[in-house]
Structure 1
């Protein structure tokens, strides 16, 4: 593509004079911005190369301390700082990955674009850094303010391993982020976004403003990097800086979590979890936001994806205190059925017939937390918990047997909180625990020695606690077994139970 006569007169496209006069920079950058914004500049070919080479030459020719001069000059529609911000925005858009119509996740052309753009951005930031040392050029602050948002988005888009990155593009993006932090005098990304002193309000709002057009229902999948930039940026901002931006961050998080792809569901739920943890309960309860979050998360529990279930349960456990903030124990009155009861009921319903080990492990991993949360009110779910505990103790989970360890932990908690109801279940629980110990002692289960030792210890602790709940019935039943048993491992466990002197479970749960 040949440059028009106006561009040639301004020095763009040909060999730039070594001493480009400052007032000529603004029209030259304006023309380059126009070329970069045209559709043909975003494709492969000579037009793209010419625009990038001309921009490179223009940056090289301008002196650092005079880079921003002429800003806001008479007759100028836009100053240099604003134009530079728009140029960087155009470069960031040019290097961003685009949605593939055929579903292909690879973006072979993007790493090369990102490497070229990264080199140009480094030179632009270098000019800003040089201008900082010149007392005669205060406009660099305005220029940096316009540039920092799109520079940040470019760096975060390309700095980590993704389908659209390469080692070269990741390296240059990392250099861009490091230089950006140095120029803005920020010690970390969190400081860059939130501000590190009273006079610095941070740039989180600016970044959200740039991402907003790409985070609605129609556009958020057109650039596959946007969701990652948004989620990563969101998780860098913590309390108390997150709450003022709640209206901007909650809708995109819900949108991403509501997608049909599991990967996006998990990413969205992780964003929601960060919001729940870092936004005050009063703000979440306002306008019924907490209920909206709860229903969105609860619906995900019907999806048989262990990664999603893991993320949802972690988020719900932190959301329960917000939802139940107004509920207080009033002694003689019955507590209203809470959201935690509803979730635990659904989890137990799913756990009982579940045969996939990863899902069983995920459910079991969080079961103790639900029992702790409900305390003595776990008694409402005792019948279903019995079935789940007995069923899960029969199936090993190699190699670390994590599922049964968590089920044994759950059983201990259930006995501590509901001990008056345990005496009628002594025989059934005793048989299940003894069978587990016998199976482990016979090496019929392919688990590691450390896991086997841990399970034996937990099972023994459960027997000791069961004995206390039954006022010594377990010791009496085990006395006959130890006389005829020849297995040293089983006998050792029984001896520990007979010698056990743990405190009565009622002493630990008076406040439950």
Structure 2
């Protein structure tokens, strides 16, 4: 009786009054008429009321009637049923769809999304009721695989803390995601997207199979070059989906994941560029090197990232350099890994990156940018090995310039540059003798500055002093004598007793 009354309220029953024995219409026909009603409603109150009745329908109706094909032809009936449910879910999701930008360059104000959260909450409830009923049915496999991708995209759109969500709408979306995972027997979001690939899951009618391909099918039309900027949520859903997928499940989907990531990376807005670089870095870390080198993909990614080394945004540069360091290992063997018997070390991409970084470091005066460059320099120099000799002149100017400038309170720049000087001295010690006078003068000046700086924390002062003394010892060992001669000229007229005491440890260790 309750179902008959509900169909009568929805104006989907053929009788004028609700009858307990009235025959139920074919489910595909009912779903089609519900879709038309959802598309045709004009006011928010009517939409909310209609969605509530749809939710009650899924809660009260017999699952065998809801999910069994009405046609005698099982294959054709199943396809029609999947299509009908797909259309209905599309209509439900459309009730809480985000407004689109009129052009591909701007962004909508926060006020444009004001009505979205209140419409998303009932849609989440209705979809949760559908998935709950489908999860309890005995044979949900094919139908579940058909409807879940669109629902997944909807949940990811609305559970993120964005302008179009509120606390209630995010809670409703997360609740819907939990229902979705239970319906398909998925453990978490990563399992939802890629499945487990086990024989048991394959024999389960696809119930626990991954849906990444279906999610990309839903997103693909909106990820085109001329349309992805019109909807703010598309890039976020794509990035979320990509970042859930790890090795070895990412590689088969690489042809569909790489182009949108490059598209985001190429955008002029820093937040979009950074999102794209994060996606590319995730791809580099979770794809076999052979797959990345295939079809010259790695070189394309390298060129896309290299041009961003000219940006002046510290956050962008940090992500780009981090990604480049991992990508370079895919493209070539680091110069430091080549054996002495190898052919002459020709300039390579490592040289190109180090040269450009050093060039920018010389002229950079913004503290955040200097910190980013200083943090990436040690691993770059370490990778170069003895091949750093090609860059010694420029590297020396950077070391001298960065050691002269304070970087309170943690002195990150100075510590990183001292680390670079140590690595360079170890790798290129035969070429350091001619640079001892200049470098030693700078290091002694740094010791004096550090010892007299009352604003430095004791731990930072201790670390700077130790690293500076380590550099002096390495210069002494690599140069073969000049350092000791120069240190003997330092007396109390030049520096404090603390500095003299520190230098005495260098002299003592050398005599041993």
Q: TM-score surpassing 0.5?
A: yes
1:255 lines up with 2:259 in the alignment:
no
Per the alignment, in what secondary structure is the counterpart of residue 67 of structure 2?
coil
User: Compared with structure 1, are the counterparts of its residues 383 and 19 closer, same or farther at alpha carbon in structure 2 (3 Å cutoff)?
Assistant: farther
Moved more, 235-244 or 355-364: 235-244
Q: Which residue among 361, 366, 388 is the counterpart of 1:356?
A: 366
State whether residues 114 and 169 of structure 1, in contact with CA within 8 Å, keep that contact through their aligned partners in structure 2. yes
Q: 1:68 to 1:21 in 2, by over 3 A?
A: farther
Aligned to 2:60: 61
Take 1:397 and 1:16, find their aligned partners in 2: how far apart are those partners?
79
Matched, 1:26 2:28: yes
1:488, CA displacement in angstroms? 4.3
Check the 8 A contact 1:26/1:79 in 2, yes or no: yes
Distance 1:422 1:344 in 2: 19
Distance (Å, rounded) in 1 between the aligned partners of 2:433 and 2:264: 49
Give the CA deviation at 1:498. Answer: 2.5
Per the TM alignment, residue 6 of structure 1 is displaced from its structure 2 partner at its CA by 11
Displacement after TM superposition at 1:421 (Å): 0.8
Question: Could you tell me which residue of structure 2 aligns to residue 45 of structure 1?
Answer: 44
Where in structure 2 are there 5+ consecutive unaligned residues?
1-6, 203-207
Are 1:92 and 2:100 matched, yes or no? no
The answer to whether the Cα contact below 8 Å between 1:11 and 1:28 also exists between their aligned partners in 2 is no
Aligned-partner SS, 1:333: coil
Deviation per CA, 1:90-128: give whole Å up to 9, x if none.
Answer: 333442433345733422222212222111122112212
Separation (CA, whole Å) in 1 of partners of 2:17 and 2:179: 29
Residue 120 (structure 1) aligned with residue 126 (structure 2): yes
Query: For 1:164, what is the secondary structure of its paired residue?
Result: coil
Point out the structure with the larger helix share: 2
Unaligned runs of 5+ in 1: 132-136, 504-512
Aligned partner of 2:182 in structure 1 is 182
TM-aligned CA distance change 1:340 to 1:66, over 3 Å: same
Note if contact 1:309-1:362 (Cα within 8 Å) is conserved in structure 2.
yes
Q: Match for residue 507 of structure 1?
A: none
Q: How does 1:253-402 map to 2 (within 5 A)?
A: 253-324=261-332, 331=341, 333-402=343-412
Distance in 1 (CA, whole Å) between partners of 2:22 and 2:367 is 69
CA RMSD, 1 decimal: 2.9
Deviations 1:325-352 (A, max 9, x none): 5996573732222111111111111110
Q: Which residue in 2 is equivalent to 1:451? A: 460
**Are residues 489 and 120 of structure 1, via their aligned partners in 2, closer, same or farther at CA, if it must alter by over 3 Å?**
farther
Larger deviation, residues 319-328 vs 376-385: 319-328
Aligned to 2:438: 428
Q: Which residue of 2 aligns with 1:478?
A: 487
Question: Residues 448 and 495 of structure 2 are in contact (CA less than 8 Å); yes or no, is this contact kept in structure 1?
Answer: no
1:21-43 per-residue CA deviation (whole Å, 9 max, x = no partner) reads 6554332221122333x3x65x7
What is the aligned partner in structure 1 of residue 252 from structure 2? 244
SS in 2 for 1:301: helix
Instruction: Give CA-to-partner distance per residue, 1:202-237, whole Å, 9 cap, x none.
Output: 211111111111111122112111111111111111
